Structure 1
Amino acid sequence: MDAVRILEDEVREVVRRQGVDPQREGERVRLLIHEAVSDYESRSLVSSLPPLDDAGQARQDLYDCIAGLGPLQRLMDDPGVEEMEV
């Protein structure tokens, strides 16, 4: 399991436990993600957890998955994308 997937599971659990609404409390989700990534980086130095390659990108990916539309969020945020087909 890769680092971002582990973090996603951890953050989703905290969001559920604290009763956070990701759609309405985006800044709170960002704070939870920031705290989780910082904690993960510390833990990965002294354990067998897989290393986190790019913390900034991980934070954005986590936010997109938890409070956004997952992989579609980047397309939604890109002003050059005018339409999407399924």
Structure 2
Amino acid sequence: MPEDEAPAPIEQKPKKAEKLGWFEKRDRRRRRRILFEEVLGWILVPAFVYLIYLGVQAVGGIPKEAIDFGNELIGLALKSL
């Protein structure tokens, strides 16, 4: 009974992925790099701050001479404005 069989579907060729131009490739690389830098920054900056804190605590605090030097630099910077 060939009449009862459904007709075979027509085979379609799979569509090829659209080839990206140089502008789209550059844009994707740029977005990927910016995202990577943001994630890296959110991880590394707190780590550096924490390591500096641990270093200061290991030394026993910030020496008075360093604080005086910082105040002098700030005073000179504000005086020049």
Structure (1 or 2) with the larger CA radius of gyration: 2
TM (normalized to structure 1)?
Answer: 0.27
TM (normalized to structure 2)?
Answer: 0.29
